[in-house]
């Protein structure tokens, strides 16, 4: 079936939901995974690590590779293989095979997320980047929104169903996905024009490196708190998988609503000021989470904090889109790589800490946000300067 006009662009936005969906669908089902594979909470952290580490590593080069070889040659096959890897998670007979499938998932996602975002922002003036990134972040928030509900429902029935459903969605998107150029998203890469092909060394600049540090610290710290919230819900307050999914859904819904609105604010304030405010507010809200002793209190705080986490993501992705104009996709993938490296490290650091002291895990996570504020200011980047 032909897919035209705005529907083509909408599919590109929808493709942004695949990464968060694959990442967060497992959070409400941690107890079920522990039981199925006879592993500890700390060992479950490795399933996040195995997804996020290859994702982060390949993001260092995926954008630049795509700009050299052409996004249209890579994007659809990457989504299709992502769907296959997700189905592998569903049928994994042992924890080792589950981890292998998670590695494959993360590897393929490295060729999805930055390519979609670069395609959407390529032909947009800097003054409108915030709105485009905000809409794309809303697509990512859609994945975060549906993942906990899908994961929570499956946890109460059979956790494997969540991965099967995600694989079906991925296969459908791959089948309908247009070439970026067909969506009117400015998809032509430098190798498809008269310019010289981009090189990785164009990213080794002080502003880009400091922005990457901001993304890493933010993910290791406040915006990575979703995992801790899921553990609080299941292991401390002892909610069911579905109710945990609903609680995480609340934060995802708030993030989805906040992302495009924050994009408008970002275009008015500029990326530097918007990033500083977003990180500071998000860190403060995460510091309040240990005070939640009931499901309702946790849900209310996470609802607001969930919105704040998405404003942080919108902010540094907007800065990344103008950080290296001669290698836009490379700068985006480089920054995203550091973000997900932070998530990967956080998954193996905070889960064991949480089992000892949930309060310390939250407060330490919030405290790292202070360092992220310092690095984003030191980068000197600001979208307003590119108007």
Domain boundaries, given as residue ranges, for the chain: 5-188+199-386
Q: Which band of pLDDT confidence, cut at 50, 70 and 90, is reported for residue 21?
A: confident
Instruction: For helices 328-356 and 358-379, give the axis angle rounded to 10 degrees.
Output: 160
Specify the higher pLDDT residue, 325 or 150.
150
Diameter of the chain measured on Cα atoms: 60
Pair of tokens at residue 235: 């292991």
Q: What is the pLDDT of residue 198?
A: 55
Q: Which residue has the tokens 């507010």?
A: 281
Confidence of residue 1 (pLDDT cuts 50, 70, 90): very low
Crossing angle between the packed helical segments 328-356 and 113-121, to the nearest 10 degrees: 140
Q: What is the pLDDT of residues 210-235, one digit of tens each?
A: 999 999 999 999 998 989 999 999 99
Window from 29-38, 176-185, 340-349 with minimum mean pLDDT: 176-185
Task: Give the pLDDT score at 55.
Answer: 86
Q: Quick check: 241 and 153 in contact, CB under 8 A?
A: yes
Residue whose structure tokens are 């995480």? 248
Q: Which long-range contacts (CB under 8 A, 24 or more apart) does 91-97 make?
A: 91/160, 94/37, 95/37, 95/38, 95/39, 95/43
Mean pLDDT on 129-157: 79
pLDDT at 191: 43
- pLDDT above 80: residue 80: yes
Segments of 137-242 assigned E as strands: none
CA distance 96 to 75: 28
261: pLDDT confidence band, cut at 50, 70 and 90? confident
CATH of 5-188+199-386, one of 3.40.50.300, 2.40.50.180, 1.20.1250.20, 2.40.37.10: 1.20.1250.20
DSSP string, 193-209: SSSPPP-GGGG-SHHHH
């Amino acid at each position: 079936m032909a897919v035209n006009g705005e529907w083509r662009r909408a599919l590109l936005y929808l493709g942004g939901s695949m990464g968060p969906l694959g990442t967060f669908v497992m959070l409400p089902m941690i107890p079920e995974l522990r039981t199925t594979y006879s592993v500890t909470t700390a060992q479950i952290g490795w399933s996040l690590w195995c997804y996020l580490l290859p994702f982060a590593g390949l993001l260092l080069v995926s954008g630049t590779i795509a700009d050299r070889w052409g996004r249209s040659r890579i994007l659809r096959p990457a989504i299709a293989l992502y769907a296959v890897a997700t189905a592998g998670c569903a049928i994994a007979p042992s924890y080792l095979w589950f981890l292998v499938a998670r590695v494959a998932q993360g590897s393929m996602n490295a060729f999805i997320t930055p390519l979609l975002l670069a395609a959407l922002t390529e032909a947009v003036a800097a003054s409108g980047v915030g709105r485009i990134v905000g809409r794309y972040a809303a697509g990512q928030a859609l994945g975060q929104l549906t993942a906990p509900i899908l994961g929570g429902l499956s946890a109460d029935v059979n956790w494997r169903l969540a991965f099967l459903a995600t694989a079906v969605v991925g296969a459908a998107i791959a089948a309908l996905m247009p070439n970026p150029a067909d969506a009117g998203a400015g998809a032509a890469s430098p190798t498809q024009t008269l310019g010289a092909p981009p090189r990785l060394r164009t990213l080794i600049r002080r502003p880009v490196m400091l922005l990457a540090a901001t993304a890493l610290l933010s993910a290791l710290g406040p915006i990575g708190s979703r995992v801790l919230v899921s553990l609080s819900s299941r292991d401390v307050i002892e909610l069911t998988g579905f109710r945990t999914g609903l609680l995480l859904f609340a934060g995802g819904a708030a993030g989805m609503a906040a992302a495009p609105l924050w994009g408008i604010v970002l275009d008015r304030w500029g990326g530097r000021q918007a990033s500083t405010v977003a990180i500071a507010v998000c860190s403060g809200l995460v510091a309040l989470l240990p005070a939640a002793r009931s499901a309702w209190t946790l849900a209310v705080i996470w609802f607001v904090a969930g919105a704040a986490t998405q404003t942080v993501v919108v902010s540094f992705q907007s800065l990344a889109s103008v950080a290296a104009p001669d290698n836009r996709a490379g700068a985006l993938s480089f920054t995203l790589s550091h973000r997900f490296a932070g998530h990967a490290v956080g998954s193996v650091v905070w889960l064991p800490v949480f089992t000892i002291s949930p309060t310390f895990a939250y407060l330490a996570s919030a405290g790292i946000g202070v360092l992220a504020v310092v690095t984003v200011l030191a980068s000197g980047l600001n979208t307003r300067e590119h108007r």
